[in-house]
Structure 1
């Protein structure tokens, strides 16, 4: 029988081992340095409850499993932000492939669920790779059900030929739409206009839940993220009004770019403005020598899937299931 212990994660000592574990399940690799930088931006947890007794506030306890040789072989986190749905926790549980089947995942699961019960959470959410049949089956045996399916798509830029898709940019410009980047219009006034655009368009994403962050937190976790630059944020304008955006984020290890966000105001949809913004993003990525672009879309987001897969030609990749457990 495999010997192991479950303990709280030690920071920063465990970041390197945790990064290696997360790289088994994440589409793009991370590093200890990046995990630490993100952790440093989160203040100490502060949970409370609303008038209905539902869990509110924020926290992010983390645990690891250590084998008999002192090696970290598994990791779990339960977290919520101030804008997360009342009562909800989001969790991740990963065990090194060579250590699976020894009860480690179950022990981490039980530890996390015990903490969730202690803080009176009412709902746990986990995102699992659709190809990880073993983890999906484990989750279903423990009360999780599939709520949503997120598709993943990749565009190989070395072989990409946009052809007449770039015409969407000229069409939009002839209709009076102007394209700039945040680098062209720097400063807080522009950032706040962009924030309002995100805030209006974000609830239209299928499956979106919770409140929207306030300006400072939105900036920290969107345009202020590592790998996002002002010149990689393409904005569509009608006069002085921001009406559409595409934001790109680069992974320092793979040099690939991720479509961090795409949004167009409802009254401007159906004019191929989103396509124009996407193609501006492609131009930027190719100019930077990026090998590929990656994006995710909810399975019910038909308009964006049509642009990405049917028009531009993003290649379908295995996605994720959103698994939900009502406590």
Structure 2
């Protein structure tokens, strides 16, 4: 096993690198300022560490966030730099994460494994994880999307009392924000394949 040291990640020292890895894991851009802000907001619910070699180079990290309403559950990220895998770094990180979870009385850990990284799925299964659900994402290009085929359906729904609007039309008021929040929350809770959690429950 490669000689490594684990320590808590420091915002000014480490988050510039962590944000690159988070952007890969979440498949969307993440800013250093945004990560620092999230860390400050959720600091009491986060336990995290980075792995570094003798020269102080970051090799990987884990990051766990205790669920807001289910304190026995935490959502986790674990990453080892490509080229450094297969040397026991991931196992060392996970063992430390597991110990930290036990000390925090967390009994359920959840993470994501991307299809483009099959080795992570293998690693997760070796650590005892089972697949809860399989999700895929799609993007809609609004510049080329033709919504005319839906005109008849929209007109029918409007005739039944449904309202189609936007935040721009409603105005960015507290009442409009509350309605949007409620709509998003109901949508998440009733989405097939979800576990019934709320949009804010993270």
Quickly name the TM-score band, shorter chain normalised: 0.7 to 0.9
Aligned to 1:106: 91
Aligned to 1:250: none
Between Structure 1 and Structure 2, the one with more strand by share is 1
Q: Give yes or no for contact 1:73–1:99 (8 Å, CA) kept in 2.
A: yes
Superposed CA offset, 1:26-70 (max 9, x none): 21121212211222333x41xxxxxxxxxxxxx111110112221
Matched, 1:124 2:109: yes
Q: Give yes or no for contact 2:21–2:79 (8 Å, CA) kept in 1.
A: yes
Structure 1 residues 37 and 169 mapped into 2: Cα distance closer, same or farther (>3 Å)?
A: farther
The CA RMSD measured in Å over matched residues stands at 2.4
Q: Give yes or no for contact 2:46–2:66 (8 Å, CA) kept in 1.
A: yes
Structure 1: gaps spanning 5 or more residues:
46-58, 222-327
Matched, 1:150 2:138: no
Superposed CA offset, 1:251-305 (max 9, x none): xxxxxxxxxxxxxxxxxxxxxxxxxxxxxxxxxxxxxxxxxxxxxxxxxxxxxxx
Q: How does 1:46-125 map to 2 (within 5 A)?
A: 59-83=45-69, 85-125=70-110
Superposed CA offset, 1:121-159 (max 9, x none): 22111111023221111111111111101112133456x
Aligned to 2:32: 32
Which of the residues 138, 154, 164 maps onto 1:179?
Answer: 164
Q: Distance in 2 between matches of 1:115 and 1:135?
A: 21
Q: Give yes or no for contact 2:65–2:75 (8 Å, CA) kept in 1.
A: yes
Shift of 1:170: 4.1
Structure 1 residues 30 and 199 mapped into 2: Cα distance closer, same or farther (>3 Å)?
A: closer
Structure 1 residues 62 and 156 mapped into 2: Cα distance closer, same or farther (>3 Å)?
A: same
Q: How does 1:216-255 map to 2 (within 5 A)?
A: 218=200
Matched, 1:140 2:125: yes
Between Structure 1 and Structure 2, the one with more helix by share is 2
Structure 1 residues 89 and 81 mapped into 2: Cα distance closer, same or farther (>3 Å)?
A: closer
Q: Distance in 2 between matches of 1:161 and 1:113?
A: 46
Aligned to 1:192: 178
Q: TM-score, normalised by structure 1?
A: 0.55
Shift of 1:106: 0.7
Structure 1 residues 212 and 64 mapped into 2: Cα distance closer, same or farther (>3 Å)?
A: same
Superposed CA offset, 1:85-123 (max 9, x none): 352111110111121111111110010001111222221
**1:73 partner SS:** strand
Which of the residues 186, 195, 200 maps onto 1:209?
Answer: 195
Structure 1 residues 79 and 102 mapped into 2: Cα distance closer, same or farther (>3 Å)?
A: same
Q: TM-score, normalised by structure 2?
A: 0.85
Q: Which deviates more, 7-16 or 173-182?
A: 173-182
Shift of 1:74: 0.6
Structure 2: gaps spanning 5 or more residues:
none
Q: Give yes or no for contact 2:189–2:196 (8 Å, CA) kept in 1.
A: no
